[in-house]
Chain A
Amino acid sequence: MEILVCVRRVPDTSENEIELNPAGNDIEREELVYSVNEADNYAVEEALQIRDRVGGNVTVVTVGGEDDEEVLRRELAMGVNQAVLVSDEAFSGSDGRGIATILKDFVQKGRYDLILTGVQADDGAAQVGGMLAAMLDYPFASLVNSITEEDGKLKVSREIEGGNREINEIDLPCVLSIQTGINEPRYVGMRGIRQVASVPIPTLGASDLGVEKDSIGEAAAKVKRVDYFVPALSKGAEMLRGSREENAQKVLELVAARGGLK
């Protein structure tokens, strides 16, 4: 099976303190450290596991700049067959639809049976996967938390409200957005990354993909960020100050009162 995974490099919220810049139109990016978006990493692991079961190749692609090569290296170290950087000045300022358009053109340059995205980027809107599927006219399933292959189709399980699951059969080729927790991604250490340090990562630009310039970039973006703000802190937590037994009882009552216990 030929699998494509679309990944993205994001500032890792667990390793950064996200603060607004003085202008209030973006976050302070000076001392940020970046990593591959968590859900995307699960998608790559899932692709690798499928490949190891049924054979084929895994390609990862990201739309971005030179800096984004580091996440592609990390995925190469995880064991993907190929990594491609899609980069062009014309892409900058694209909205979700623009990114989906670029990816659509990339997908049409190759032949993929299965396209995976993370369910959502830490700084994203969970929209590219769905749009990409629509543009390709492929079936789409979101929030996927398990995949099995069956007679040229896939059985995917989706997380639905309340922690329940539904099982869908889906035709190939298709686009799936992968939920975190679907697997346990393998660890990539410094040694792994060093070993793929010299693997070439091809870069494709707008002209390589034949992207129509008027459908991408800032000019074509129909969704624009107008503000960034940190929500005001609401009232603090309620402190229980009884004995251990009293507190336990009180917690039970509170949880039950808010529908947490059935």
Chain B
Amino acid sequence: MVGIYSPSLSSEWLVPGRNLFLTIHVLGVACFVYIVAKRFVPLVRAEGDPRFDRPLTRLGKVFKFWLGQWKHPRYRFAGTLHILIFAGFLLLATRAFSVLIVGVSPGFVMPGLSGESGRVYDLITDYAATIVFLCMVVAAIRRLVFKPARYAVPAKYGKSRTADAVFLLGLIAVLMIADSLFAASNAAGHALQDQPIEALAVFSLPWMLKIAIGSMPLATLWALNVTAYLVHEVTFYFLLCYRPFGIQFHVETSLFSIYFAKLERGTLKPVRWGVPDERLDQVKSFGVKTFEDFTWKHILDFYSCADCGRCADNCPANAAGRPLAPRFLSIKARDYAFQHYPVLGKANNGKPLIGNIYSEDEVWSCTTCGACEEECPLLVEYIDKIVDLRRGMIDDGNVPQSLQKPLKALENRGNPYGKMEKKKADWAKAEEFQRTCKVNTVDGNNSAGTLYFVDSITSYDDRMHSIGRSTSRILSHIGEDFGILGAAEKDSGHEVRRFGEEMLFMALRDHNTDAIKASGVQRIVTSDPHAYNALKHDYKDAPPVEHISQVIAREVRSGNIQFHRVENEDKVYAYHDPCYLGRHNQIYDEPRAVLDAIPGLKRVEMKRSRDRSFCCGGGGLMLFYEPKEEQRMGVLRVRMAAEAGANVIVTACPFCMANIEDAIKVAGLEGTMSAIDLTELVDQHMVREVCPVKAMELETATCGG
């Protein structure tokens, strides 16, 4: 039989094509189902995770991040490539299925794709296959020739994965060629036989292949046609079954990862879903100690990680040379899952993760800044995993000595410094300050509408007192009826929780919640983004809370706060987004609006700003931790500001201030670079009605009123 019919009518090694292809179909699908079932086992054994709520919100995420590829353009070139490949795959999916069915049922046409619409679809997919093929070539060249740094695998994290990546690119390229050759040989054959010719899209891969093979005899074309079909079929199923063994698994899992993604920013998962606080005592083990202690969603994340390296590329810990790269948290866990839940053979599990795949320093190195999660195109979660691993270590008593002292001081004294409670409000008692601004303590006798939640560092760190005083002066300038808790305020516990000490956090939270309730305040303002995030997301029944930058921005808009001109025109300001104000709470514009409202203030943006802001080194307990690192994050950050042409870094967080001021000294930039808190800057430039020059504590402060 010579001519171009359908592969199902061919005969391979004396086996009728139909039977051969049917066998491949059944085998391929069976293999895939079996492998995926095996991959499900750890998910079933994992901890629960309630992610089945709010389907519409979740579908919205799917539209934006999966179908819309929202995060991809953040890496312009790689992102564009990915969008092209993704779109190509989506377009080709129907064609691939029709082609597969044609092998069994000749003349099959996908419903809806007969006639004109089918011809248009074929033209589009001709181009799609061509584009995907070209993308494979470009991607392979990138991997082999240009070798972007973020794909490199440092020796401590295992072997290079370039070969695997290129192999997969090759397989997809083969699939595209086979698909195109099948279409081309069909068209060429039909042309020779004077049958209706399929139109091929001009300059597409099938179109070019058709020109190349157009002069071949019919028998050769038939052989090519059947061979192309066979290669397509085998490659398709090989890819399908090979994907669950590596980074390509995200083709299948990404849709689910994104649908089930975490919906709230700034929050942490509870120790155990479904166990209320008062029953936590009955939970035998806290946190993640073995692989199965992860929730099923977190294991799904491990499967979905595409190893694109964007998380590690943005991770400040990784940049500072700490032994942490978020990417490898996922990759190592996935390797562990594949090794301990093999496709063939029995599952063996139960090994502790710390000491086997993760190191202690790796887990303590994270500042929970959220840069990795912000960047991940697949919305993989890292902070919850890190905190769960820490909970496990805390539960086992495995805590660095540098953190034990502050944790114990927090337990005994309610602050990490071990300072006396009665000195908590000393910053507000300085005589000179009291003359400009009176700060009341709200208790049974005194009440106020607004609570200024000061938190530990601003209360006890001499340098940060000025942030507390500036905040108070701003609040009193705008006529806010406010007070502080004084000795009754304990540390917000934000970092205590993020360092995994949930019980201690709960004790601090309950104490503060009671104190806040007893004070009768209606709302809370804080100058500390960490306290802000804790009060907003970690506390259950606290009154509404605002960060001082939001208050200032509002008062500037309404005209209650007006500024006089900056004195020193040589100063160039760069605003550094604190992680817990920016990324975790999306407050980017307010502080900038305040800066821009100061007449004559020159402001530049650092390359890494807003949601790509670079963590200064971390707050709270991170100030006590002694990391293994090559350099300080703060130093890297200060250099970024210098690069942007700034000589003043404005921040809105006392921890950023501590880290950045230290870093300026370490970087040797004293005298050329300085740091100032937003509240201090506002305090300096506010137009006051009565000129309190004498009473001003800040040297540079002047009065324009």
Contact = CB atoms under 8 A, between A and B. Distances in A.
Given A33-B413, A190-B503, A15 B397 contact: no
Interface string B500-526: 011110010000000000000000000
B398 A17 contact: no
Given A15-B408, A33-B412, A188 B397 contact: yes
B412 A189 contact: no
Interface residues of B, number: 29
Nearest to A48: B397
A185 B412 CA distance: 18
A58 to B, nearest CB: 15
The secondary-structure label for the interface of chain A is loop
A78 B397 contact: yes
B626 to A, nearest CB: 13
Nearest to B412: A33
B401 A35 contact: no
B212 interface: no
Contacts of B655: none
Given A12-B418, A190-B503, A191-B503, A35 B408 contact: yes
B404 interface: yes
Given A191-B286, A194-B503, A186 B397 contact: yes
Interface in B381-408: 394-399, 401, 403-405, 407-408
A78 B407 CA distance: 16
A194 B281 contact: yes
Given A15-B418, A191-B286, A192-B397, A35 B504 contact: no
A192 B285 CA distance: 11
B54 interface: no
Contact of B394 (A15, A16, A31, A187): A187
A14 B418 contact: yes
A142 B398 CA distance: 28
A186 B668 CA distance: 38
A189 B409 contact: no
Contacts of B138: none
Interface string A167-189: 00000000000000000111111
B286 A187 contact: no
Contacts of A195: 281
Contact of B398 (A14, A186, A244): A186
B420 A189 contact: no
B389 to A, nearest CB: 15
B346 interface: no
Nearest to A14: B418
Contacts of B404: 185, 187
B422 interface: yes
Nearest to B670: A244
A61 to B, nearest CB: 22
B525 to A, nearest CB: 29
Contacts of B399: 186-187
A31 B420 contact: yes
Interface string A191-210: 11011000000000000000
B425 to A, nearest CB: 15
A58 B133 CA distance: 69
Contacts of B504: 189-190
B422 A31 contact: yes
B49 interface: no
Contact of B407 (A31, A185, A186, A187): A187
Contacts of A15: 408-409, 412-413, 418
A194 B504 CA distance: 11
Contacts of B411: 190
Contacts of A14: 405, 409, 418
Nearest to A79: B397
Contacts of B280: 191
A187 B397 contact: yes
A209 B504 CA distance: 38
B419 to A, nearest CB: 8
Contacts of A17: 420
Contact of B412 (A12, A184, A187): A12
A191 B396 CA distance: 11
Nearest to B502: A191
Interface in A12-34: 12, 14-17, 31, 33
A190 to B, nearest CB: 4
Contact of A35 (B412, B422, B503): B412
Contacts of A33: 412-413
14 contacts: A15-B408, A16-B420, A17-B420, A33-B413, A186-B398, A187-B394, A187-B398, A188-B397, A189-B503, A191-B280, A191-B281, A191-B286, A191-B503, A195-B281
10 interchain residue pairs of minimum CB distance = A186-B397, A15-B418, A187-B399, A190-B503, A33-B412, A191-B503, A187-B397, A14-B418, A15-B409, A190-B504
Interface of A: 12, 14-17, 31, 33, 35, 78, 184-192, 194-195, 244
